[in-house]
A and B are shown apart, each in its own frame.
Chain A
Amino acid sequence: MQTKIMVADDSQMVRQQVRSALAGAGFSVIEAHDGADALSKLDQSGVALLVLDVNMPNMNGLELLEALHKKDEYAKLAVVMLTTEGQPKLMQQAKALGAKGWIIKPFKPEQLVAVAQKLTATTAA
């Protein structure tokens, strides 16, 4: 069974890039266009990794991260931030809320695949 990864980003272009990179590496990709959309789709989805943008309408990435942090059922969900933001304070905030890592856009597909493989392997273990 394919490992499920969700990408939450308000940019269609970024979602497509993430999908293209991860689907090519054998992952099943679910898209969400903002934080609220991601939260609604995460329930019962069996997602192992969430690739999360920071700046999004409705519910931004850090708000979603905080919401997930409070729920026990998402304790095993690995989250990696994928954003244009490079502010150390935000990075530390995300880390404190349980994000595994922070990738600054633009990204190389192989980088994302390496991250997904490592984080989903850890989750599976």
Chain B
Amino acid sequence: MNILRRIVQAVVLPKEITSFEEGYLRRTNRIALVFFALHIPVMVLLAACNGTNPLLALALTSAVVAGPALAVFTFRNPRAISMIHGVAAMFVGGLLVHFGQGPVQIEMHFYFFALLAMLAVFGNPMVILVAAVTVALHHLVLWFALPKSVFNYAAPVWVVAVHAGFVVLESIAGCFIARSFFDNVIGLEKIVRARTSELHGRNRDMRTLLDNVEQGFVTIDREGLPSAERSAALDRWIGEPRAGESLFELLRRSNSDFGELSAVSFTQVTDGVMPAEVMLEQMPHALVIKDSQFHVAYQPITDGDSEAPSHFLVVVSDVTERFNKERAERERAETMALCERLVSDRNAVNDFFDETGELIDAVTAQETTTQATHRMLHTIKGNSAIFGLASLSETCHDLESRIADGALVPEDLVGLREQWTNIRQKAERWLGARGRVIELDVGQQDLLEQAIRSKAPWPTLLAMVNALKLESTDRRLEHFGEQALRIAGRLDKNLDIKLDSGCLRVDPKRWAPFWSAFVHAVRNAVDHGIESPDERAATGKKPHGSIELATRLREDDFVISITDDGRGVDWARVKTRALKLGLPTDGENALRDALFCDGVSTADRITDLSGRGLGMGALREATQSLGGTVEVTTSPGAGTKLSMVFPKRAMSAEVTSMSVRPASHEICQSEQVQ
């Protein structure tokens, strides 16, 4: 049953007649009619030559041709006309056999097979089937009624069966060819329509996707011209391209710098001189449009075997949320660090904001030399890091890099000013009025009370009270110690910190600039002085490096020192750098002087910590401004001691009173932090 159904499905065409099929069949039917009409004179001529009644040939052939002629002009269904042609074809074959009676009558039968094959041109198996049935009936009837019309001898029934067998065989083949012709050629329109419909479906799905995806997608050609198909998000973010407008011209409308740089960079991708994949990575990625941040990425698209990309997929992602989130996270962390610092040392935070504010004002006023700007940025960088403001420190580092490259432009400093204003506004919520606070511990309060009870002279009492306004150096040393440990952690170095404040106090206002510069000595000691654990192990040193920070009184001097047990100063390298800068290098003193000159660093590399050769110069300048001098004691492989020596009176205006009552400053013991 299944096979029978499949045979019927193969023979019977689908009901629908497409406009293409209809046009094709109408044309073919007309050609077939002409073809059969041409048989009339042929049959007459044949009958005349063969002596088989040409008038009858004219009448019969005309009658046969009248069938399809009537059908062509009256039938609406072109397939029906084709079937009439199938019947007529067999009658024409029968007439040829009849009027071709004689010695070649059997050979005239070939025409049936030729006509059967020709009928495949209608692309309809039913036409061949109808023709086969017609020829079968024709032979059967005439074999009984008028045998000489079919055979020129007394053909037995098995001969008729042989003829019928060949007709069946050819009909099967003809049906197969006709159906294939219908499916693959006549039905092409249907196939195209189905595929078009499928493509429309895909396009619709793709359009829906492109309209709703929150990412910008577009392909561009090697000229940068965007394709028509792109995601709606892209149009919303950067606008719709005008006719003939490249993506980069479009980007220039939103962000001229980005668009222009992208356009120039893209020429490097397509000119084939540099590796395209490297140049694609070098394309600018961070696009800012108003308050939104976007990331622009490029993917090459290659056609076939060609190595050079023919097109590029451009993917634009809105990263504003992620960017803001990261910034908020960072600001939260920085705020926490600042709060911690505020709790532990409110005065230091106040000093930091005062001093950094002044430095930012000076830097952004742009009234100083480039060298001075560089130094101030260096100081802001160091101080910011101490107070946990990593983002401000990084900004200063970037600005320093731009100065070093000679590429700093005034606009660069606007960002620094905005960043600082933002930090200060936030911090002022916690700082409040930002007045200075004097902390008094129980021991100090006891000492003061005892002095009052013992009726100490008023100058002594006044000195003791004034001394409370001074800042304990142990707080400062503590902060530097913590910072040294943080830096060591980042550099994978092991470090022990020893602090010895000598129970001293200094005037916080007067000393703020010095502490700002002292941070560079701490950074240098950890970054360049202390060796890596492997290097220390190789030279037989204990794995933990050691740094001692101290403030002491030495006879009439006040000494601040930092001592490390690192690799010591490489004087040969100092000499090389000094020579390059044209500095004097003759003698030990000249080299010691060179160590504090801008641009001289023993570092191999510049990091965000140190290496620019600016810190030591700033430290010497800050020391000298307080009337002090810097002493360097160093030994290769054993370490370096840097001592800033000041006259004792530099500590504060009340220094005389302090020396009268040193007990009033006994606020701590030497301690060790690890």
Contacts and interface: CB of A to CB of B under 8 A. Distances in A.
A114 interface: yes
B407 interface: yes
Contacts of B265: 91, 102
Contact of A88 (B260, B604, B605, B606): B260
B23 interface: no
Interface stretch (B270-278, B425-433, B492-500): B270-278
Contacts of B263: 88
B51 to A, nearest CB: 88
A52 interface: no
A45 interface: no
Interface in A1-58: 11-13, 16, 33, 54-55
Interface in B281-322: 281-282, 284
Nearest to A101: B274
Contact of A86 (B273, B274, B281, B284): B284
| Interface size grouping (class) on chain A | 20 to 34
Given A13-B604, A88-B261, A103-B282, A55 B406 contact: yes
Interface in A84-104: 84-88, 91-92, 100-104
Nearest to A108: B281
A91 B282 CA distance: 13
A31 to B, nearest CB: 13
A55 B273 contact: no
Given A86-B261, A88-B261, A91-B264, A11 B606 contact: yes
Interface stretch (B344-352, B397-405, B442-450): B397-405
Contacts of B604: 12-13, 16
Contacts of B407: 55, 84-85
A86 B262 CA distance: 10
B279 interface: yes
Contacts of B282: 102-104, 111
A79 B281 CA distance: 20
Contacts of B273: 100-101, 119, 122
Main SS of chain B's interface residues? helix
B284 A119 contact: no
A115 B277 CA distance: 10
A118 interface: yes
Contact of A115 (B261, B278, B406, B606): B278
A2 B463 CA distance: 76
Contacts of A100: 273-274
A49 B10 CA distance: 73
B399 to A, nearest CB: 12
A91 B262 CA distance: 12
Contacts of B401: 84
B281 A111 contact: yes
A80 interface: yes
Nearest to A104: B282
A11 B407 CA distance: 14
Nearest to A91: B264
Contacts of A111: 278, 281-282
Interface in A52-81: 54-55, 60, 80
Contacts of A92: 264
Contacts of A108: 281
B264 A114 contact: no
A13 B607 CA distance: 9
B268 interface: yes
Contacts of A122: 273
Contact of B264 (A12, A60, A88, A115): A88
A115 B274 contact: yes
Contacts of B402: 84
A16 B277 contact: no
Nearest to A92: B264
Contacts of A91: 264-265
A107 to B, nearest CB: 8
A92 B405 CA distance: 19
Contacts of B404: 11
Nearest to B577: A12
B352 to A, nearest CB: 30
A101 B268 contact: yes
Nearest to B281: A111
B369 to A, nearest CB: 16
Contacts of B611: 13
A13 B274 contact: no
Contacts of B268: 101-102
A103 to B, nearest CB: 6
A102 B265 CA distance: 8
Nearest to A118: B275
Contacts of B606: 11, 13
A114 B405 contact: no
B608 to A, nearest CB: 12
Nearest to B405: A55
A17 B508 CA distance: 43
A85 B274 CA distance: 18
Contacts of B281: 108, 111
Interface string B433-465: 000000000000000000000000000000000
Contacts of A11: 404, 606
A12 B275 contact: no
Nearest to B264: A88
A102 B284 CA distance: 13
B527 to A, nearest CB: 13
B612 to A, nearest CB: 10
B605 A114 contact: no
User: Quick one: which of A13, A54, A108 has the most chain B CB within 10 A?
Assistant: A13
A84 B282 CA distance: 12
A57 B401 CA distance: 15
A118 B641 CA distance: 51
A76 B281 CA distance: 27
Nearest to A57: B406
Nearest to B283: A104
Closest 10 CB pairs of A and B: A101-B274, A55-B406, A13-B605, A88-B264, A55-B405, A114-B275, A111-B278, A88-B260, A84-B405, A91-B264
12 contacts: A12-B604, A16-B605, A80-B274, A84-B401, A85-B407, A88-B260, A92-B264, A100-B274, A104-B282, A111-B281, A114-B275, A118-B275
Given A13-B611, A85-B405, A86-B261, 8 more contacts: A11-B404, A11-B606, A33-B580, A84-B402, A100-B273, A102-B265, A102-B268, A114-B277
